[in-house]
Structure 1
Amino acid sequence: MSALDPSVIVGVVGAGAMGAGIAQVAARAGHRVLIQDARAGAADAACGRIRADLDKLAAKGRLSPEDAAAAGGRLVPVEATADLAPAGLVIEAIVEDLDVKRALFGALEAVVAPDAILATNTSSLSITAIAAGAARPERIAGLHFFNPAPIMALVEVISGLATAPEVATRLVETANAWGKAPVRARSTPGFIVNRVARPFYAEGLRLCEEGAADPATLDAVMREAGGFRMGPFELMDLIGHDVNAAVTRSVFDAYFGDPRFRPSLVQQELVAAGWLGRKTQRGFYDYRPGAAAPAARDLPAAPAPRAVGIAGDLGPAAPLADRAAAAGLSVTRGPGDGLIRLDGATLALTDGRSATVRAAETGIADLVLFDLARDFAAAPRLALAKADAAPDTALAVAAGFVQALGKRASALADRPGLAVMRTLAMLANEACEAVLQQVAAPADIDRAMTAGVNYPQGPLAWADAVGAARLLGVLAALQAETGDDRYRPSAHLRRHVAAARPLSV
């Protein structure tokens, strides 16, 4: 099935930032766009803003003046729902209220053609529930753009229980024709992104609650070791804690209190205080004029080790050995359990156990764990945590090794799984649950998380690169040490590890 022809008129209900952004995308794709809003003058104002944005793009050379003028000329403000009758596709971007959306679709059904598609931009409400009162629920689907719609590539195309397959396919092809990156999803709480992304925030908040490190240090570790564009705390400050907490609670409630989605008391306190992030100038960070910029805590400079012994296979951390040799350190290799032996410290990649538990079980008295990095060769920072019984000097020796490789070192309190490894394990696990529950295909989940929230790699492909069996072990260790069912491994993950099949295909 092909995309909607540009001759098909598109209606947009809701002239706020999201509705205006969607209208701009459709107009640039060649459609005549009818914009309607219940607020007097809102549709006219939105058309003016969109035309101004198009002119700015033309001034920057990103769009020709002719194309900007043509797209602006295709925008038509209208006053009433009845004026949307010529539209072959109507996209609503109004308030997130189920009853209000149902009423709107009922009114639209009374005026548009029988074959017109009705789409909702909802980010949280059930498509099935929105369509439940419709005369023709099969033509209603989700078309979830991400803000700002003209810039963000991802569009989630969501099918409710009654959505006709050909309607979803037409929307996928239309989103492609509009230059977007569409993914298919089944209507379940959070769809793809708002569900699979929950551990990114939740594990950051949990680490903060556990006193693993201050937010600035954890953010730096997630950016500089994990490769994420923003750390969880700065991202929540940007989103707004009221918004982020509401989405978390909505997903938690929709999944009947599943502990994987448990809200955070730390974030609840911020909301109660009115510290909502950037928009109130206080959140995890202070944005008031004159406030000090947040800074990660680095371990002090320490001497480089005289010799480095690589015992066995370091797994994804193997580039550290090559980096050490390139830095001029004396490196020897031999058999072993994946350890880096220094004079005064033994380093190991976290396997989900805390350093204290792992030291007790292995008898390594000077054990220091290091966290996962997205790219061990290029990462500018690594996080370290020492066993409780290990001497303080072991952490200094480990820091000297990391610094000799040209990286900054940050100390975390000894918490199971550390930060990047723990977060990746939970992201991959949630993605596995979404595949298991037939919410979306693996490729669509990975595409959604890279195109929608700028993850450095899709969680399933990243899990394959690190090793699904390794992450299964991390989750099992986290569940055993914390006793928290939030870390229970997905049956989908278990099956794929048992069969040695990749998760991302």
Structure 2
Amino acid sequence: MNSRNFSIETIGIVGTGAMGRGIAQIAALAGLTVRLFDTNPAAVGAARDYLAETFARLTAKGKLDEARSLAALANVSGAQTIAELTGCDLVVEAIVEKLDVKQALFRELETVVSGRCVLASNTSSLSITAIAAGCIDPSRVVGYHFFNPVPLMKVVEVIDGLRGDPAAGDALMDLARRMGHTPVRAKDMPGFIVNHAGRGMNTEGLRVAGEGVASFADIDRIMREQAGFRLGPFELLDLTALDVSHPVMESIYHQFYEESRFTPSPITGTRLKGGLLGRKTGEGFYRYVDGKQQVPAEPSAPTGLPRSVWVSQRYPQAREAVVELIGKAGVKLDDGAAPAPDSLIVVTPFGHDATTAAVDEALDASRVVAIDALFPLTGAARRTLMTTPATTRAARDAAHALFAADGVPVTVIRDSTGFVAQRVVATIVNIGCDIAQKQIATPADIDLAVTLGLGYPRGPLALGDALGAPLILTILRNMFSVLGDPRYRPSPWLARRAQLGLSLTQPDAADIHTETQP
């Protein structure tokens, strides 16, 4: 295959919904000529009117000068037929997510545009190779996956099909930068980077809820305030809407031939059928009144501190943090080799549930409460406690009072391998590692795509490094040992780097270019 020199100045956009309009907006502002086409002619005029209003609003707010606003709008024109896209250097489709419809469109475009025109799909879940398979020349078909709303979501995935010309992808990478976006490059695999990596938060959050461990609101509170994410899994699902997110979950699961890591939840399937889609319908995992999320209030912390507390020595660093909190609360520390008969028993498992931690150390499960020490306990915005099925109400309430004594809110959950934050974060890191292992994208692009596309505080690989790859590996191995679920098997990328003391962001050393020759 001979690479061509693709120069892009005129862009055709097929489909004038939210995505098509957003792409048109950033292209026009970048000085490109934009031609809009839609099978509904009225939609083209509506899209141009929308852009005119948007540019005028940005000008009124001082975010766009008037000359540039007028020039951008002048760059946009409508096309009444596909044939009017003949002079385009690039055509981006942003139409319905149906393979046969996209293939038919690209076959028609091939009869209209020149051989130097790149054909790009904004698909979020379909194979670029499959879309290109319907074309006479599949080499110029590239994935160009923007995120909604396009002007604000500053990342775009450039996806190479198996028969794609790298020069076409290179041209779209350059174009993305020209339009003020950050491009990341991915192989043609289900979910590409962002939707693939996003399975960790959503599917694991749903699994936690499905096991009856905690409520939707409590899971969100833990992921936001303890783990530091901007949104919890159910707030995120409400924002994206289940009619969008659930089909993507099913699509990725089936495209990976029922890979257990991506198993969808009947929770979202049932709620989708019931029309509880999220913010846009006024009710999802939360209710929305005048667009405002209605969150159930948390109960007040109990009063009544324990007389003495014994803390497991299984994880010394975690024990040290717990002992510090006990001292600050003015509670006596039981320093015996085994707990005294009247002491509250605190364990700090990583990946195990409270029951396994109690049995492993031959502890009285009725007095055992576990605390999640994955994130710092001192200065925390939230702490999470976990009980065994045998833990008494008195032990639970005493532990709650103790760890809330300094005013930090505490969430008490039912027994769960890996609490909430541990298992969700470990799953996020593990899936990110597997994306790197499969060479779907570079480690740098994986973290960049996730931070920009999902708004996570760190990319999955950097997050694993921050918490410690060996600790993440321990959590996954312990979860796997308890549940036997292949969902929690560690990625080879994670296991090898944890064992060698390498950063999860580091490619294989032999693949790193250096000037030194052997």
| TM-score, normalisation: structure 1 | 0.90
Q: Say if 1:299 and 1:492 are closer, same or farther in 2 by CA, change over 3 A.
A: farther
Q: Deviations over 1:152-177 (max 9, x none)?
A: 01111111101122222221122122
> How many aligned residue pairs are there?
499
Paired position in structure 1 for 2:283: 282
Q: What is the CA–CA distance in structure 2 between the aligned matches of 1:48 and 1:312, rounded to whole Å? A: 65
Paired position in structure 2 for 1:227: 228
* Aligned-residue offset at 1:294: 2.2
Paired position in structure 2 for 1:354: 353
Q: Say if 1:293 and 1:31 are closer, same or farther in 2 by CA, change over 3 A.
A: same
129-138 vs 385-394, which moves further: 385-394
Classify the secondary structure of the residue corresponding to 2:294: coil
Q: Does 1:216 align with 2:217?
A: yes
438-447 vs 167-176, which moves further: 167-176
Q: Deviations over 1:81-115 (max 9, x none)?
A: 11112211211111111111112112222222222
Q: What is the CA–CA distance in structure 2 between the aligned matches of 1:314 and 1:65, rounded to whole Å? A: 63
Paired position in structure 2 for 1:437: 438
Paired position in structure 2 for 1:114: 115
Q: Say if 1:298 and 1:167 are closer, same or farther in 2 by CA, change over 3 A.
A: farther
Kindly indicate whether the alpha-carbon contact (under 8 Å) linking 1:36 and 1:81 is maintained by their aligned counterparts in 2: yes
Paired position in structure 1 for 2:270: 269
Q: What is the CA–CA distance in structure 1 between the aligned matches of 2:318 and 2:51, rounded to whole Å? A: 47
Classify the secondary structure of the residue corresponding to 1:119: strand
416-425 vs 257-266, which moves further: 257-266
* Counterpart residue identity of residue 102, structure 2: K
Q: Does 1:46 align with 2:47?
A: yes
Q: Say if 1:460 and 1:315 are closer, same or farther in 2 by CA, change over 3 A.
A: farther
Q: Deviations over 1:380-418 (max 9, x none)?
A: 211110234444343334323432343100100011111
Q: Say if 1:31 and 1:413 are closer, same or farther in 2 by CA, change over 3 A.
A: same
Paired position in structure 2 for 1:490: 491
163-172 vs 38-47, which moves further: 163-172
Paired position in structure 2 for 1:63: 64
* Aligned-residue offset at 1:196: 1.2
Kindly indicate whether the alpha-carbon contact (under 8 Å) linking 2:384 and 2:410 is maintained by their aligned counterparts in 1: yes
* Aligned-residue offset at 1:120: 0.7
Kindly indicate whether the alpha-carbon contact (under 8 Å) linking 1:380 and 1:406 is maintained by their aligned counterparts in 2: no
Q: What is the CA–CA distance in structure 1 between the aligned matches of 2:16 and 2:377, rounded to whole Å? A: 46
Paired position in structure 2 for 1:157: 158
Q: What is the CA–CA distance in structure 2 between the aligned matches of 1:164 and 1:409, rounded to whole Å? A: 54
Q: Say if 1:372 and 1:242 are closer, same or farther in 2 by CA, change over 3 A.
A: farther
Paired position in structure 2 for 1:204: 205
Query: What is the 5 A alignment of 1:322-401?
Result: 344-365=343-364, 366-371=367-372, 376-401=377-402
Q: Say if 1:287 and 1:313 are closer, same or farther in 2 by CA, change over 3 A.
A: same
96-105 vs 236-245, which moves further: 236-245
240-249 vs 419-428, which moves further: 240-249
Query: What is the 5 A alignment of 1:19-38?
Result: 19-38=20-39
Kindly indicate whether the alpha-carbon contact (under 8 Å) linking 1:141 and 1:167 is maintained by their aligned counterparts in 2: yes
Paired position in structure 1 for 2:511: none
Q: What is the CA–CA distance in structure 2 between the aligned matches of 1:445 and 1:169, rounded to whole Å? A: 18
Kindly indicate whether the alpha-carbon contact (under 8 Å) linking 1:383 and 1:410 is maintained by their aligned counterparts in 2: yes
Query: What is the 5 A alignment of 1:420-499?
Result: 420-499=421-500
Q: Say if 1:290 and 1:490 are closer, same or farther in 2 by CA, change over 3 A.
A: closer
Q: What is the CA–CA distance in structure 2 between the aligned matches of 1:489 and 1:415, rounded to whole Å? A: 19
295-304 vs 11-20, which moves further: 295-304
* Aligned-residue offset at 1:444: 1.0
Kindly indicate whether the alpha-carbon contact (under 8 Å) linking 2:306 and 2:402 is maintained by their aligned counterparts in 1: yes
Q: What is the CA–CA distance in structure 2 between the aligned matches of 1:33 and 1:188, rounded to whole Å? A: 30
Q: Deviations over 1:136-160 (max 9, x none)?
A: 2111111100000011011111111
Q: Deviations over 1:450-503 (max 9, x none)?
A: 100111111111111111111112112212222222112212222222222111
Paired position in structure 2 for 1:85: 86
Paired position in structure 2 for 1:13: 14
Q: What is the CA–CA distance in structure 1 between the aligned matches of 2:384 and 2:316, rounded to whole Å? A: 16
Paired position in structure 2 for 1:254: 255
Classify the secondary structure of the residue corresponding to 2:400: helix
Q: Say if 1:71 and 1:324 are closer, same or farther in 2 by CA, change over 3 A.
A: farther
| TM-score, normalisation: structure 2 | 0.88
* Counterpart residue identity of residue 351, structure 2: G
* Counterpart residue identity of residue 353, structure 1: H
Paired position in structure 2 for 1:414: 415
* Aligned-residue offset at 1:52: 0.6
Classify the secondary structure of the residue corresponding to 1:287: strand
Q: Say if 1:85 and 1:373 are closer, same or farther in 2 by CA, change over 3 A.
A: farther
* Counterpart residue identity of residue 362, structure 2: G
Query: What is the 5 A alignment of 1:278-317?
Result: 278-287=279-288, 293-295=294-296, 297-298=298-299, 300-302=301-303
CA root-mean-square deviation: 3.1
Classify the secondary structure of the residue corresponding to 1:195: helix
Classify the secondary structure of the residue corresponding to 1:156: strand
Q: Does 1:192 align with 2:197?
A: no
* Aligned-residue offset at 1:312: 8.9
Q: Deviations over 1:300-337 (max 9, x none)?
A: 24356899999697658977777888x686999x999x
Q: Say if 1:81 and 1:497 are closer, same or farther in 2 by CA, change over 3 A.
A: same
Q: What is the CA–CA distance in structure 2 between the aligned matches of 1:198 and 1:354, rounded to whole Å? A: 23
Q: What is the CA–CA distance in structure 1 between the aligned matches of 2:303 and 2:145, rounded to whole Å? A: 50
* Counterpart residue identity of residue 118, structure 2: I
Q: What is the CA–CA distance in structure 2 between the aligned matches of 1:316 and 1:116, rounded to whole Å? A: 59
Q: What is the CA–CA distance in structure 1 between the aligned matches of 2:321 and 2:35, rounded to whole Å? A: 55
148-157 vs 173-182, which moves further: 173-182
Q: Say if 1:153 and 1:378 are closer, same or farther in 2 by CA, change over 3 A.
A: farther
Q: Say if 1:431 and 1:316 are closer, same or farther in 2 by CA, change over 3 A.
A: farther
* Counterpart residue identity of residue 108, structure 1: L
Gaps of 5+ in 1: none
Q: Say if 1:328 and 1:388 are closer, same or farther in 2 by CA, change over 3 A.
A: closer
Q: What is the CA–CA distance in structure 1 between the aligned matches of 2:226 and 2:345, rounded to whole Å? A: 20
